């Protein structure tokens, strides 16, 4: 733990660890299908016959089992998965906090996380970028 009480985890693209709330950017694969995103791929695994889908641009790295995805969609929705790459202009993402809380340790120190997409613009371990 750092002196501030926030764990010293290295932040990766798509996540913010600047306060005790721990926020992640999530993308809904359902939205990729609805908009017929040209970067959504699918393939059939030869030995198992199972179909998988994913993102060519690696906005998300998961390879999603299509049968499981369709079953989840019939039962309330698959939900969002963690964004691991840069969103494309058409990507619709949301920021989801891992923990709710009050007080100084849960005060957002990085409001730009909700819209900054270039990790070079912000070092999540040191706070907000300086205006130049």
53 burial type by CB count under 10 A (0-12 exposed, 13-18 middle, 19+ buried)? middle
Residue 24 pLDDT exceeds 50: yes
Residue 37 pLDDT exceeds 90: yes
Beta carbons of 23 and 98 less than 8 angstroms apart:
yes
Beta carbons of 29 and 60 less than 8 angstroms apart:
yes
pLDDT at 106: 86
Question: What's the pLDDT tens digit per position in 87-103?
Answer: 888 888 888 988 888 88
pLDDT at 11: 60
Which tokens go with 68?
């499981």
Beta carbons of 3 and 111 less than 8 angstroms apart:
no
How far is the C-alpha of 68 from the C-alpha of 125, rounded, in Å?
A: 36
Three-class SS state of 34: helix
Residue 13 pLDDT exceeds 60: yes
Q: How do the domains of the chain map onto residue ranges?
A: 25-90
């Amino acid at each position: 733990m750092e002196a501030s009480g926030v764990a010293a985890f290295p932040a990766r693209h798509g996540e913010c660890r600047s306060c005790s709330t721990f926020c992640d950017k999530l993308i809904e694969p359902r939205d990729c299908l609805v908009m017929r995103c040209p970067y959504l791929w699918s393939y059939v695994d030869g030995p198992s016959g199972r179909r998988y889908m994913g993102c060519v641009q690696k906005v998300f790295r998961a390879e999603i089992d299509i049968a499981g995805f369709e079953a989840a969609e019939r039962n309330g929705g698959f939900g969002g998965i963690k964004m691991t790459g840069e969103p494309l202009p058409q990507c619709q993402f949301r920021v989801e906090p891992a923990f709710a809380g009050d007080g100084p340790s849960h005060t957002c120190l990085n409001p730009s996380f909700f819209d900054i997409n270039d990790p070079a613009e912000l070092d999540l371990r040191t706070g907000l970028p300086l205006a130049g």
